[in-house]
A and B are shown apart, each in its own frame.
Chain A
């Protein structure tokens, strides 16, 4: 398969659009009332320019391209001190805005090519992908452990889509399958699907990592291997088992399949007849169609955390490629229709009894939990400290529970809450919906 994954050199012109104005350092909204808070987890933790927002990473990229900087241990570490959250991207207004996370990842790809990256702790991920097809060093047979509860009692076992046809593939993702505290997410998702009587299946032990982590770490080869295998599987499942929709409850998998996979020349062809959808959108569509009725009430005061991968990472940018509108390469506008900002909020509001209070930094200005971009593996302490900052922001709203739609955020924010002894819990939206969705009458 041919991939259009940019090299740092290909992004050089974009890199030279950054004026070093530093607007990317804070989430600022004129309002009124005007609001301002930190946006960059790396800058917040490490402070020096360089760590701070796009401005810093772009400085590193310039230095590497010009030969003024060379890969040494400290620079490599600095390049990985970034959650690739794209918070900085949301602030920038210049022509390289659409490419900002891509520049960071291209810089990491350059480090990987030079044999300098990723960090030793993160290299284990690539190794694990090779040995186990998941980043968690978990044997393949463990992948379905979460589903054991569905084999008990009255529960209906989940269909193995390799063997039986179904229009709906639930792509579980490695975090939900292997990271034990995160198993609640696939369990809630499957429980909801069962209650709704949906005809769906899972790949079980044959499911492979989506490759998102590898891509974020700059390991394009590992990413391509996983992505190509998955695209082949999806195509086969469509042709042989009638799969039309891939639903995932993982923001990382969703972003990867929707966006990263589309960098393959054959994406359209491989995904022909298949649509990928995040579970929150999937449930929202059912809700709008009157097929999701909640019992209640759930008298909780909650706040909502926008995960980067299901939020601003899905922004589409309009660029004047050929110069016919402004000039070649001009960034024209953005479109947030794919960003899951309103969908989870509307679902939360639909649950009887739920009171939703907002944090200051939301939607495109959401403050990253601190877990992405390989940070949870590379710098677990920092990831946890950063999550604690977000939990504190949630607590400022008076909410008792924080809700999100990403297993990474789920894990890291709960770690953060524990770290500071906060009573706040992070629940996945599916967990709430599962609680209020009545068993379907048969």
Chain B
């Protein structure tokens, strides 16, 4: 039999991970070629499943030697086409590295492998009355992929981004070496802190899998305060909502301080665009607070009431309201199958969803929203927009969740154009896109300080001399 180079590579991969864990079958490659985003599907050449660190090292050494691209993959739900291989190569599926290595109930951290899902960790932590910042994404998606991609969870107003919860890391470099950052680098048993050493975890956070493969991750976990109180308000315009959120955020009493436009409060988001009823408020906000005692809750209530009074005195349209029940459940019962399955977003739209997801200063939310609204409505898309405040600072997530009918190439392209247009507006206002698809990366780089790009390229070249890790994603 004629053995092609492709066969030879497959054989080598099989010898590393086992025959049943390496494939070049077209139908399997096809299943990894697309996600829910507008990003054009592309096929990998191989898919391998690793279950040990040594296997990950073996795959990367081989790929580096042969200069084959490698795309780390856990569940592919990032909504940005980030695991769609730009240049073919190997999809390195890590779902079988799914051990919860340790939950340190005294020091409050957990050590996990990349395949550990939100649902898996949530149920394990729950036994110890502990929690983490669960995103509103699929319960089956990876905790570590979310954290290393600067993911956002339900505790971001209290503790910051999920990436800020990272305490330690073990990583296989593109060239196959095993490295560690954080306290575990000095004492293999100590996974509690990424400080006070040089913060080298930054080499692997926000890089979209382009600098190495994280094989173990330490994250902070927190006690579950038993008393949940959600403050819900609504108002007629974005300016009033931003004013209320900035005010409330000063007191740092919320785990999650999020506002959604009327369209995002609908279950599901209307597709195509549907006008809001005249009498309905345009903005809704839920502020989740968790307290250890009733008294603590009462103190939070007191603060919230003060804020409410102040906002009313300013003449804003803020008023206490009922938040739609299912939508509220999806925000407080996390991880959530309802919202994670994209039901709240896509049920009417069809198989597609994408976002311009950004970190934007709160004082720019209103002008950006007003522009986004126009752009989206012009494209017959609902302005289903979310604003979330972080840890008392006045900046946070501003994003539009845009469902579309992925069966139609035309409707997909329409959504892509609208979203990229929105993104440009946000970039012009100082916003920063997160988990950016290549389309966004290009826009970011167009505006970047030359020194940023220089450093980015230098680090990338240092860690990944053959540019094998998720190549093309950074738009460089």
- CB within 8 Å of A: which B24-38 residues: 25-28, 30-32, 34-36
Separation of A163 and B6 alpha carbons in the complex (Å): 67
Q: Mark A1-23, 1 if CB is under 8 A from B, else 0.
A: 00000000000110011111111
| Residues A47 and B49 in contact, CB atoms below 8 Å apart | yes
| Residues B126 and A19 in contact, CB atoms below 8 Å apart | no
Q: How far is the CB of B71 from chain A (nearest CB, A)?
A: 13
Q: How far is the CB of A51 from chain B (nearest CB, A)?
A: 8
Asked if A26 CB lies within 8 Å of chain B CBs, one says: yes
Separation of A19 and B350 alpha carbons in the complex (Å): 7
- CB within 8 Å of A: which B298-343 residues: 333, 335-338, 340-343
Asked if B89 CB lies within 8 Å of chain A CBs, one says: no
One of A24, A36, A63 near B30 (C-beta < 8 A): A63
Asked if A267 CB lies within 8 Å of chain B CBs, one says: no
Binds A, one of B117-125, B194-202, B257-265, B453-461: B117-125
Separation of A332 and B28 alpha carbons in the complex (Å): 32
One of A12, A24, A30, A47 near B96 (C-beta < 8 A): A47
One of A31, A63, A75, A92 near B341 (C-beta < 8 A): A92
- Which residues of B are found within 8 Å of A63, using beta-carbon distances? 27, 30
Nearest neighbor of B21 in chain A, beta-carbon distance: A47
Asked if A153 CB lies within 8 Å of chain B CBs, one says: no
Asked if B469 CB lies within 8 Å of chain A CBs, one says: no
| Residues A23 and B139 in contact, CB atoms below 8 Å apart | yes
| Residues A22 and B140 in contact, CB atoms below 8 Å apart | yes
Asked if B163 CB lies within 8 Å of chain A CBs, one says: no
Using A26-B117, A30-B337, A91-B341 as known contacts, say yes or no to A330 and B347 having CB atoms under 8 A apart.
Answer: yes
Separation of A327 and B47 alpha carbons in the complex (Å): 39
Q: How far is the CB of B437 from chain A (nearest CB, A)?
A: 15
| Residues A16 and B406 in contact, CB atoms below 8 Å apart | yes
Tally B residues with Cβ within 8 Å of A.
51
- Which residues of A are found within 8 Å of B35, using beta-carbon distances? 20
One of A20, A49, A91 near B28 (C-beta < 8 A): A49
Asked if A95 CB lies within 8 Å of chain B CBs, one says: yes
Separation of A362 and B33 alpha carbons in the complex (Å): 34
| Residues A34 and B119 in contact, CB atoms below 8 Å apart | yes
Nearest neighbor of A43 in chain B, beta-carbon distance: B95
Asked if A407 CB lies within 8 Å of chain B CBs, one says: no
- Which residues of A are found within 8 Å of B27, using beta-carbon distances? 50, 59-60, 63, 69, 74-75, 78
| Residues B95 and A47 in contact, CB atoms below 8 Å apart | yes
- Which residues of B are found within 8 Å of A13, using beta-carbon distances? 407
| Residues A59 and B30 in contact, CB atoms below 8 Å apart | yes
Asked if A33 CB lies within 8 Å of chain B CBs, one says: yes
| Residues A19 and B351 in contact, CB atoms below 8 Å apart | yes
- CB within 8 Å of A: which B69-118 residues: 75-77, 93, 95-96, 117
| Residues B127 and A28 in contact, CB atoms below 8 Å apart | no
Nearest neighbor of B32 in chain A, beta-carbon distance: A49
Using A33-B127, A63-B27 as known contacts, say yes or no to A20 and B122 having CB atoms under 8 A apart.
Answer: no
A-B pairs with CB below 8 Å: how many?
147
Tally A residues with Cβ within 8 Å of B.
46
One of B34, B49, B76, B119 near A26 (C-beta < 8 A): B119
Nearest neighbor of A326 in chain B, beta-carbon distance: B348
Using A32-B126, A48-B47 as known contacts, say yes or no to A69 and B30 having CB atoms under 8 A apart.
Answer: yes
- CB within 8 Å of B: which A60-89 residues: 60, 63, 68-69, 72, 74-75, 78
Separation of A16 and B406 alpha carbons in the complex (Å): 7
Asked if A56 CB lies within 8 Å of chain B CBs, one says: yes
Asked if A93 CB lies within 8 Å of chain B CBs, one says: yes
Separation of A233 and B198 alpha carbons in the complex (Å): 80
| Residues A23 and B341 in contact, CB atoms below 8 Å apart | yes
- CB within 8 Å of A: which B1-57 residues: 20-21, 23, 25-28, 30-32, 34-36, 47, 49
Asked if A357 CB lies within 8 Å of chain B CBs, one says: no
One of A23, A48, A94 near B23 (C-beta < 8 A): A48
Asked if B431 CB lies within 8 Å of chain A CBs, one says: no
One of A59, A72, A330 near B31 (C-beta < 8 A): A59
Q: How far is the CB of A66 from chain B (nearest CB, A)?
A: 10
Separation of A95 and B140 alpha carbons in the complex (Å): 20
Q: How far is the CB of A19 from chain B (nearest CB, A)?
A: 4
Separation of A59 and B28 alpha carbons in the complex (Å): 9
Q: Mark A29-56, 1 if CB is under 8 A from B, else 0.
A: 0111111100000000011111000011
Separation of A34 and B335 alpha carbons in the complex (Å): 9
Using A25-B140, A49-B32 as known contacts, say yes or no to A35 and B347 having CB atoms under 8 A apart.
Answer: no
- Which residues of B are found within 8 Å of A330, using beta-carbon distances? 347-348
Nearest neighbor of B125 in chain A, beta-carbon distance: A34
Asked if B68 CB lies within 8 Å of chain A CBs, one says: no
- Which residues of A are found within 8 Å of B95, using beta-carbon distances? 47
| Residues B26 and A36 in contact, CB atoms below 8 Å apart | no
| Residues A17 and B350 in contact, CB atoms below 8 Å apart | yes
Separation of A22 and B342 alpha carbons in the complex (Å): 10
Separation of A50 and B406 alpha carbons in the complex (Å): 19
| Residues A50 and B407 in contact, CB atoms below 8 Å apart | no
- Which residues of A are found within 8 Å of B176, using beta-carbon distances? none
| Residues B351 and A60 in contact, CB atoms below 8 Å apart | no
- Which residues of B are found within 8 Å of A22, using beta-carbon distances? 75-77, 138, 140-141
| Residues B119 and A49 in contact, CB atoms below 8 Å apart | no
- Which residues of A are found within 8 Å of B338, using beta-carbon distances? 93
Asked if B352 CB lies within 8 Å of chain A CBs, one says: yes
Q: How far is the CB of A101 from chain B (nearest CB, A)?
A: 17
Q: How far is the CB of B45 from chain A (nearest CB, A)?
A: 14
| Residues A19 and B30 in contact, CB atoms below 8 Å apart | no
| Residues A16 and B26 in contact, CB atoms below 8 Å apart | no
Nearest neighbor of B30 in chain A, beta-carbon distance: A63
Q: How far is the CB of B275 from chain A (nearest CB, A)?
A: 17
- CB within 8 Å of A: which B219-272 residues: none
Separation of A94 and B343 alpha carbons in the complex (Å): 6
Q: How far is the CB of B16 from chain A (nearest CB, A)?
A: 15
| Residues B28 and A48 in contact, CB atoms below 8 Å apart | yes
Separation of A74 and B28 alpha carbons in the complex (Å): 10
Asked if B346 CB lies within 8 Å of chain A CBs, one says: yes
- Which residues of B are found within 8 Å of A34, using beta-carbon distances? 119, 122-123, 126, 335
| Residues A74 and B93 in contact, CB atoms below 8 Å apart | no
Using A48-B47, A50-B28 as known contacts, say yes or no to A36 and B122 having CB atoms under 8 A apart.
Answer: yes
Asked if B147 CB lies within 8 Å of chain A CBs, one says: no
Q: How far is the CB of A288 from chain B (nearest CB, A)?
A: 34
| Residues B341 and A21 in contact, CB atoms below 8 Å apart | yes
Q: How far is the CB of B9 from chain A (nearest CB, A)?
A: 17
- CB within 8 Å of A: which B329-387 residues: 333, 335-338, 340-343, 346-348, 350-353
- Which residues of A are found within 8 Å of B32, using beta-carbon distances? 49-50
Separation of A12 and B35 alpha carbons in the complex (Å): 18
Separation of A17 and B346 alpha carbons in the complex (Å): 8
- Which residues of A are found within 8 Å of B340, using beta-carbon distances? 21, 23
- Which residues of A are found within 8 Å of B123, using beta-carbon distances? 31, 33-36
| Residues B25 and A74 in contact, CB atoms below 8 Å apart | yes
- Which residues of A are found within 8 Å of B28, using beta-carbon distances? 48-50, 78
- Which residues of A are found within 8 Å of B341, using beta-carbon distances? 19, 21, 23-24, 91-94
Separation of A93 and B342 alpha carbons in the complex (Å): 8
Nearest neighbor of B35 in chain A, beta-carbon distance: A20
Using A21-B341, A47-B93, A78-B27 as known contacts, say yes or no to A94 and B346 having CB atoms under 8 A apart.
Answer: yes
Nearest neighbor of B346 in chain A, beta-carbon distance: A19
Using A22-B77, A36-B117, A47-B96 as known contacts, say yes or no to A91 and B30 having CB atoms under 8 A apart.
Answer: no
- 10 CB < 8 A contacts A-B: A21-B342, A34-B123, A35-B123, A36-B119, A47-B93, A59-B31, A59-B34, A94-B342, A95-B347, A331-B347
Q: Which 6 A-B pairs have the closest CB atoms?
A: A50-B31, A36-B119, A93-B343, A16-B407, A23-B341, A59-B31
A17-B350, A20-B35, A35-B123 given. 20 additional CB < 8 A pairs? Answer: A13-B407, A16-B350, A19-B351, A22-B75, A22-B141, A23-B138, A26-B119, A28-B119, A28-B337, A30-B333, A34-B123, A47-B21, A48-B93, A59-B31, A60-B31, A69-B30, A75-B25, A78-B27, A93-B337, A93-B341
Interface residues of A (CB under 8 A from B): 12-13, 16-26, 28, 30-36, 46-50, 55-56, 59-60, 63, 68-69, 72, 74-75, 78, 91-95, 326-327, 330-331
